[in-house]
């Protein structure tokens, strides 16, 4: 599965000249945790997250004697955004994308074609894919296999996102191809194809 298979597009983004308050309103309205920042040519130049927006923007209670740091807080997205920003291409393997989200401890990954923003993938997007019903996954896998080799050739069963395919024609090359096709289906966590007569769950 590739980033293009689960990214959200078109992307809600902001410009660097937008106010920090406007960015906060967009995040709240859509339930996002981050917004890509683009220039006038839709080129990705940064990202503004919930953390960026709250950092130094809530004034301290003067009764605590800490003063009021909010007065010096950034007013625009350009003042608070994170730049440069890490992005991945639409063809990135989702496994690599997930690892990057975890390693960098971020919740959203912009997807860019060159420097042009084309989508975004969040942790929530990945979790929603993993939560797909086995029946829906099986239907998608069967559809792809029928396009590849016609109807009635493969038996498909899915358990907890794991796909097992039985090849009635017992062709090793085709079994490899259909395994790759199955792995591209959103929600599939593993896939294997076996020859007819073999126990697919052994």
Per-residue pLDDT reduced to its tens digit, 27-47: 999 988 899 999 998 899 999
**Residue 62: is its pLDDT beyond 70?**
no
Give residue 176's region: left, alpha or beta (phi > 0; psi -120 to 50): alpha
Look at residue 10 and tell me if it is in a domain: yes
Residues 72 and 159 in one domain: no
141: domain CATH number is 3.30.1340
Query: pLDDT class for 74, splitting at 50, 70, 90?
Result: low
- Domain identity same for 32 and 52: yes
For 14, phi then psi, to 5°, come to -130, 165
In this predicted model, which residue has the larger pLDDT, 59 or 94?
A: 94
pLDDT 10s digits, 148-195: 888 888 899 999 999 999 988 878 888 899 999 999 999 999 999 988
DSSP string, 20-78: HHHHHHHHHHHT-SEEEEE-TT-BEEEEEEHHHHHTTTSPPPGGGT---GGGGS--BHH
- Report the pLDDT averaged over residues 85-114: 93
Same domain, 51 and 140: no
What is the value of pTM for the model shown?
0.75
**Which residues constitute the domain of residue 123?**
3-130
Is the pLDDT assigned to residue 70 strictly greater than 60? no
The answer, yes or no, to whether residue 119 has pLDDT greater than 80, is yes
Domain boundary among 109, 130, 151: 130
């Amino acid at each position: 599965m590739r980033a293009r298979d689960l990214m959200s597009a078109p992307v809600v983004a902001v410009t660097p000249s937008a106010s920090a308050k406007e960015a906060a309103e967009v995040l709240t309205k859509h339930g996002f945790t981050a917004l890509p920042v683009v220039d006038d040519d839709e080129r990705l130049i940064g990202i503004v997250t919930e953390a960026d927006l709250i950092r130094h923007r809530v004034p301290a209670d003067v009764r605590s004697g800490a003063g009021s740091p909010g007065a010096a807080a950034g007013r625009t997205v350009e003042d608070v955004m994170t730049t440069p920003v890490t992005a991945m291409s639409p063809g990135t393997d989702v496994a690599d994308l997930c690892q990057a989200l975890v390693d960098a401890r971020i919740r959203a990954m912009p997807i860019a074609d060159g420097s042009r923003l084309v989508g975004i993938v969040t942790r929530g997007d990945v979790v929603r894919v993993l939560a797909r019903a086995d029946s829906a996954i099986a239907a998608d896998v069967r559809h792809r296999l029928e396009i590849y080799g016609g109807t009635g050739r493969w038996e498909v069963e899915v358990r907890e996102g794991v796909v097992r395919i039985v090849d009635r024609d017992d062709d090793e090359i085709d079994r490899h191809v259909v395994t790759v096709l199955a792995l591209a289906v959103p929600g599939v966590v593993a896939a294997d194809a076996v020859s007819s007569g073999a126990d697919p769950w052994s």
